[in-house]
Amino acid sequence: MAEVRNVIVIGGASAGYTAAIYLARAVLSPLVLAGENAGGQLMFTSEVENFPGFPKGIAGPELMAEMRAQAERFGAEIKNENVTKVDFAGEIKRVWVGETEYQAKAVVLALGAMSRMLGMGEERLLGRGVSTCAVCDAAFFKDKTAFVVGGGDAAMEDVLALARFTDKVTLIHRKGEFKASKIMQERIKGKNIPVLWETEVIGVAGENKLERIRIKDKAGEKELPADGLFLAIGHTPATDILKDQVELDSHGYLITKLTSNKTQMNQEIWLNDYPTQTSVIGVFGAGDMVDIRYRQAITAAGMGCMAALDAEKFLTGSISSW
Structural domains in the chain? 4-114+235-321 (3.50.50.60), 117-231 (3.50.50.60)
- Indicate the DSSP class of residue 144: -
Look at residue 130 in the predicted model and tell me its pLDDT.
96
Note if 133 is an active site residue. yes
Catalytic residue from among 137, 158, 291, 310 = 137
Helix, strand, coil: what percent of the chain each, to 5? 30, 25, 45
Q: Is 185 exposed, middle or buried (0-12, 13-18, 19+ CB in 10 A)?
A: middle
Catalytic residue from among 133, 158, 288, 310 = 133
Q: pLDDT truncated to tens, each residue of the chain (322 aa)?
A: 679 999 999 999 999 999 999 999 999 999 999 998 898 888 877 688 889 999 999 988 999 999 999 999 999 999 999 999 999 999 999 999 999 999 999 999 999 988 889 999 999 999 899 999 888 899 999 999 999 999 998 899 899 999 999 999 999 999 999 988 899 899 888 888 999 999 999 999 999 999 999 999 999 999 999 999 999 998 889 999 999 999 999 999 999 998 877 656 566 677 778 999 999 999 999 999 999 888 899 999 999 999 999 999 999 987 554 5
Q: Are 314 and 26 in contact (CB under 8 A)?
A: no
Catalytic residue from among 136, 227, 291, 310 = 136
- CA-CA distance, 171 to 176, in Å (whole number)? 12
- CA-CA distance, 88 to 84, in Å (whole number)? 14
